[in-house]
Structure 1
């Protein structure tokens, strides 16, 4: 699709795809432990990601952290992106959550505001320690 729109960059676009995974940073410090701790406590974990479908298919097998997630809504599959309220509606339905039944953590305040409007309890991610403290305050860790 991109090469059709930008034929002058076809060589660069072709070179990017097979090396795309190299652009993904390592997990943020403390986050793998936090996910593991939530899993050990039996807290169901879900995700909403703005990954494109083709990139998610490539990335997901390289990220075993997501093995403990019950379900993941992928923007590229749903054709919706955060902070669109529709993606939160899809997630709540798929995750079988009602208002106030789930938390949403994201590094973008607009996504958190949209999650709050959808009935989730949102928290703006700053770092793992701050998130752990917030989750402890609501009794999840």
Structure 2
């Protein structure tokens, strides 16, 4: 059966986001920097804010655990825009091609509700989707099934009766892609735009 909609993750697929863009300046030594990113401002902590915890709360909690790193911890969100390296042009090209073919497109992202508005204003590609679910706004993060249920409900408002096997989800995080597949969607692990395009063609999409 034909694919009826494609859902895009944003960070790592359409937008270049890396903590290292800030911390390579703040912690020049690679070993020290990696330790800090693995143990202090680690991704598990970032996901707490992506799930709805406020930046103020998250920052205060982490400073309480690592008071000796207060300045570096505060820099995470104070300098957060510097972690954005711009659009990933090959990923945006996939959006362009699918949009030109009138394939319904949707967005599903793990992102803090407090930082997402900056990206929304500065990266017009994010405004090209029929619906966008931001984890920080709904209080649940990928790969939880609940956020996919919310996405599907939004899609159904545009495409009544759509079934999971008629949906494609593209994410650079393997666990998130696998979660979509477990729910009956076509989860595509995005490692490069070329490989994603090949997978989309295999599913019958015009890319």
Contact 2:110–2:141 (8 Å) recurs in 1: yes
Alignment counterpart, residue 188 of structure 2, candidates 115, 118, 123: 123
Alignment counterpart, residue 80 of structure 1, candidates 140, 147, 152: 140
Contact 2:87–2:123 (8 Å) recurs in 1: no
Q: d(CA) in 2 for partners of 1:16 and 1:110?
A: 25
Deviation at 1:13, TM superposition (A): 4.8
Of structures 1 and 2, the one with the larger relative CO (CA 8 A, separation 6+) is 2
Gaps of 5+ in 2: 1-56, 157-161
Which aligned segments of 4 or more residues in structure 1 are displaced greater than 6 angstroms? Answer: none
Q: d(CA) in 1 for partners of 2:116 and 2:80?
A: 11
Count of aligned residue pairs for this structure pair: 141
Question: Residue 54 of structure 1: SS of its match in structure 2?
Answer: coil
Gaps of 5+ in 1: none
RMSD between aligned residues = 1.8
Post-superposition Cα deviations, 1:26-64, rounded to whole Å, max 9, x if no partner, equal 333411111111111001111110101111122211111
User: Which structure: larger Rg?
Assistant: 2
Contact 1:89–1:118 (8 Å) recurs in 2: no
Distance 1:54 1:101, change over 3 A: same
2:163 maps to 1:98: yes
What pairs up with 1:1-141 in 2 under 5 angstroms?
1-5=57-61, 6=63, 8=67, 11-96=71-156, 97-141=162-206
